[in-house]
Amino acid sequence: MKEQDYHKDTVVIHEGYEDKLHHGSLAVPLYQTSTYSFDTAVQGENRFSGVEKGNIYSRLGNPTVHVLEERMTALENGGGTLAFGSGMAAVSSILVHLTKAGDHILCSRGIYGCTFGFLGILKEKYNITHDLIRMGNEEEIEQAIKPETVCIYIETPINPTMELVDLQAVMNVAERYGLRVVVDNTFSSPYLQNPIDFGVDFVLHSATKYINGHGDVIAGLLVGKDKEEMESIRMSVQKDYGGIISPFDAWLLIRGLKTLPVRMERHTSNAEKLIIYLKTQNLVEEVFYPFDQDNPQYEIAKRQMRAGGGLISFTIKGGKEGAQLFMDSLSLIKIAVSLGDAETLIQHPATMTHAVVPKEERIRMGITDSLLRLSVGLEYADDLIRDMKSAFSVMEAVPTE
């Protein structure tokens, strides 16, 4: 695979695996083992001292997991990847790696709820503080930097408002101040956005979402620009905190990843059809989608994303009751959190994923009671539209103020 540069659509299927070295097995074998035998005592000594490369124990490395890591490195244009047992294990590991007691982390104003929870633990236990700010331009970012700031941690698009953070603006500031930058790229997947191309140091994914794509695994991936630094994280934070992925989950991710490009194309084309439909509905107030030409951030979207992906949020008339009535009136579309699955999912951020965010903060972020988030699946688009159509007609029959 190394002699030639293949397109990413080929990389997801072939990178990091040579079937001829595995009895011609076309599928990547599942090495469901905890440990590895050494030929001799001296070989064991050499593996531990690092003189000889090779397997020791599956918390330090596993051949199935290795294939997944190689593929992700190629997909994100990075130097190395570590696979974790959850997206949160990847988040917590990189934040532990980058900070020490007393440091400060600058975050985009929307971050995943449990990431926010982990920042709270860092603050309480180690006085590692953070600020969540709107990163609308370089000045806004620059003004929030403190002498003890060590890194910038962002999500873009931001969940669930689909607000974007301009990666180039963040990098311009980070380079001026020597700050490390981490991007949670879960919402875009490597198919839509590659932050390392902008100079970002680390990209992480909840692989539970688009990378697996089938709603049956919890896993995380951390890709770094620098291969040596990634190996040092493997042999320190990852080894000693122990948040590794199981070989079987890695095997499922390898299987899911093969269809990432075709799935993302379908998620996107379905989302585009639903947006057109939603915009014509009297009961819909506003629709939020990065690649919508009416989106004031459309230019930023085009600079850093290849397409809009499968997530849409929109506000509906009738406030919380209206939103809940709409959800309850759907039948094909399932009421569930998470995203990136084959099934279309709808959730109400104000009472579900963002229920813990204090109300004023929530409103300031644009997460009102009438906001709904849709993770558009892979179904036939007209069936989804038909489902929504019947839910809207139920709402129309019930007068709302």
Ligand X SMILES: *Cc1c(COP(=O)(O)O)cnc(C)c1O
| Termini Cα distance of the chain | 62
Of 240-269, binders to ligand X (CB under 6 A) are: none
Give all strands of the β-sheet with 104-108 in edge-to-edge order.
80-84, 220-224, 202-206, 180-184, 149-155, 104-108, 129-133
Q: How far apart are CA 285 and CA 279, in angstroms?
A: 8
x-or-dash string of contact with ligand X, 159-178, rule CB under 6 A: x-------------------
Q: Which of 17, 71, 103, 112 is catalytic?
A: 112
Residue 112 Cα to chain centre, angstroms: 10
Q: Which stretch binds ligand X (CB under 6 A): 202-210, 263-271, 325-333, 383-391?
A: 202-210
Among 87, 160, 224, 318, binds ligand X (CB under 6 A): 87
Q: Which is nearer to ligand X, 62 or 92 (CB)?
A: 92
x-or-dash string of contact with ligand X, 122-151, rule CB under 6 A: ------------------------------
Give all strands of the β-sheet with 345-347 in edge-to-edge order.
284-288, 311-316, 371-375, 345-347, 334-335
Q: Which of 103, 166, 184, 249 is catalytic?
A: 184
For residue 223, CA distances in Å to 113, 234, 307 come to 21, 12, 21
Q: How far apart are CA 265 and CA 68, in angstroms?
A: 22
Q: Which stretch binds ligand X (CB under 6 A): 32-40, 85-93, 117-125, 263-271?
A: 85-93
Among 220, 243, 256, 290, binds ligand X (CB under 6 A): 220
Of 181-200, binders to ligand X (CB under 6 A) are: 184, 186-187
Residues 6+ apart with CB under 8 A from 204: 87, 90, 91, 94, 182, 183, 184, 185, 186, 220, 221, 222, 223
8 Å CB contact between 191 and 184: no
Q: Which stretch binds ligand X (CB under 6 A): 68-76, 84-92, 129-137, 285-293?
A: 84-92
Among 155, 166, 272, 292, binds ligand X (CB under 6 A): 155
Among 47, 66, 209, 263, binds ligand X (CB under 6 A): 209
Q: How far apart are CA 328 and CA 336, in angstroms?
A: 12
User: Any catalytic annotation for residue 112?
Assistant: yes
Report which DSSP code applies to 155.
E
Residues 6+ apart with CB under 8 A from 128: 99, 100, 101, 102, 103, 104, 105, 119, 122
Q: Which is nearer to ligand X, 114 or 342 (CB)?
A: 114
Q: Which stretch binds ligand X (CB under 6 A): 82-90, 234-242, 265-273, 363-371?
A: 82-90
Tokens of 160: 């669930």
Count of residues of this chain found to bind ligand X when the rule CB under 6 A is applied: 15
Q: Considering the rule CB under 6 A, would residue 206 count as an interface residue with ligand X?
A: yes
User: Any catalytic annotation for residue 184?
Assistant: yes
Q: Which residues bind ligand X (CB under 6 A)?
A: 86-88, 112, 114, 155, 159, 184, 186-187, 206, 208-209, 218, 220
Residues forming the active site = 59, 112, 184, 209
